[in-house]
């Protein structure tokens, strides 16, 4: 009596869907990230070219393109952040803004001493923000295609592109730095988180307030008391030192010129905080103006208001 040959184990484990098997191959698993890199490179080429074209058409402003160019060139030649474009702010840019990241950025002028170097660098840094967006979306959604869509949405965000096109500003580097910080905060890698919030805070004095709010997120949402409190304190101290010590020291009138933005709420952080807590109606009248609400809507609209579904993340704003 003849018996049917037994099926080998390898044949029994052979997948029923060869297409799915092919998609699991290592080189195809790298395809989503490769597509994101393609979008990043495309963004860099596009906006670096557009920014340079705008510069060569004599459309930049001395405020702030000219000021940045002179401050970086002066730093590289031994005069720390020296500039002459706004004498009412003093001779050192620290009398206007605290942007210590400009000191290492001055080394870019060793490669090519030209404002266009800053424009290309800005486009590169902004574009790289698509990477943490992709990583976060892939982890949260478990879908590579959705992660690619979110990365593309970041690169297509009109306010971000407008900032990229409006000369060079150190603060324009912060979206990428904060996205990296948020990603490592999500991974609870607080050492790399600290590195990126430090870089972000060094882009402009008031950015440290966002750092403090990230500390509040860590404290309340992640329930990590130690790192949360340390981040809150670091952000608050940085803001106080920058606004009430560094800027007045270098400003001709020994004051911070932009504090009048908040003069309706108070003359110092304590008074502002007290006003926010004790005068909610007055505060809402200042903040919830039609102009502010339209501005907020225009920020949320490109992402189909999806941000409203993550109020704990909106806390950072």
247-304: pLDDT as tens digits? 999 998 888 887 777 777 777 767 777 777 788 888 788 878 899 899 989 989 998 8
109-125: pLDDT as tens digits? 999 999 999 999 999 99
What pLDDT is recorded for position 75? 96
What pLDDT is recorded for position 54? 95
Instruction: Assess whether pLDDT exceeds 60 at residue 6.
Output: no
Confidence category of residue 310, pLDDT binned at 50, 70, 90: confident
What pLDDT is recorded for position 1? 47
Average pLDDT value over all residues in the chain: 88
Average pLDDT estimate for 197-204? 98
Single out the residue of 108, 144, 126 nearest to residue 35, CA to CA: 144
- Cβ atoms of residues 217 and 312 within 8 Å: yes
Chain-centroid distance, C-alpha 133: 11
For 62-66, 221-225, 227-231, which range has the lowest pLDDT when averaged over its residues? 62-66
Distance CA 219, CA 249 (A): 34
Helical pair 130-141 and 174-186, crossing angle rounded to 10 deg: 30
Q: 291 CB contacts (<8 Å, ≥6 apart)?
A: none
Q: 280 CB contacts (<8 Å, ≥6 apart)?
A: none
255: region left, alpha or beta (phi > 0 left; psi from -120 to 50 alpha)? beta
Distance CA 295, CA 287 (A): 11
Single out the residue of 190, 39, 34, 65 nearest to residue 126, CA to CA: 39
- The winner for highest mean pLDDT among 27-31, 197-201, 280-284, 285-289 is 197-201
What pLDDT is recorded for position 19? 44
Which pair of structure tokens corresponds to residue 176?
A: 């990428």
Average pLDDT estimate for 10-27? 50
Which pair of structure tokens corresponds to residue 118?
A: 């800053």
- Cβ atoms of residues 295 and 287 within 8 Å: no
Q: Which residues of 200-233 are buried (b: 16+ CB within 10 A; e: fewer)?
A: bbbbbbbbbebbbbbbbbbbeeeebeebbebbbe
The domain ranges of the chain are 31-257, 258-317
Helical pair 207-220 and 190-201, crossing angle rounded to 10 deg: 160
């Amino acid at each position: 009596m003849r018996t049917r040959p037994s099926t080998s184990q390898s044949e029994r484990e052979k997948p029923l869907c060869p297409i799915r098997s092919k998609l699991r191959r290592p080189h195809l698993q790298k395809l989503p990230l490769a597509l994101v890199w393609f979008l990043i490179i495309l963004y860099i080429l596009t906006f670096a070219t557009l920014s340079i074209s705008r510069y060569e058409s004599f459309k930049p402003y001395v405020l702030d393109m000219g000021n940045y160019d002179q401050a970086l060139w002066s730093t590289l030649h031994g005069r720390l952040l020296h500039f002459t474009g706004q004498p009412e702010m003093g001779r050192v840019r620290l009398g206007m803004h605290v942007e210590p990241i400009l000191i290492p950025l001055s080394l870019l002028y060793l490669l090519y001493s030209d404002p266009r170097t800053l424009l290309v660098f800005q486009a590169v840094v902004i574009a790289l923000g698509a990477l943490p967006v992709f990583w976060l979306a892939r982890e949260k959604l478990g879908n590579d295609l959705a992660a690619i869509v979110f990365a593309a949405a970041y690169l297509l965000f009109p306010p971000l592109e407008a900032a990229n096109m409006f000369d060079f500003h150190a603060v324009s580097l912060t979206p990428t730095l904060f996205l990296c910080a948020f990603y490592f905060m999500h991974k609870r890698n607080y050492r790399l988180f600290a590195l990126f919030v430090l870089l972000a805070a060094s882009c402009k004095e008031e950015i440290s307030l966002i750092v403090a709010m990230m500390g509040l997120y860590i404290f309340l949402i992640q329930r990590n008391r130690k790192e949360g409190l340390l981040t809150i304190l670091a952000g608050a101290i940085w803001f106080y030192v920058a606004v009430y010590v560094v800027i007045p020291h270098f400003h001709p009138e020994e004051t911070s010129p932009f504090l009048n933005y908040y003069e309706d709420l108070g003359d110092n952080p304590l008074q502002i905080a007290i006003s926010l807590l004790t005068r909610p109606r007055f505060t809402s009248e200042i903040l919830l103006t039609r102009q502010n609400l339209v501005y907020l809507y225009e920020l949320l609209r490109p992402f189909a208001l999806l941000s409203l579904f993550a109020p704990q993340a909106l806390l950072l704003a």
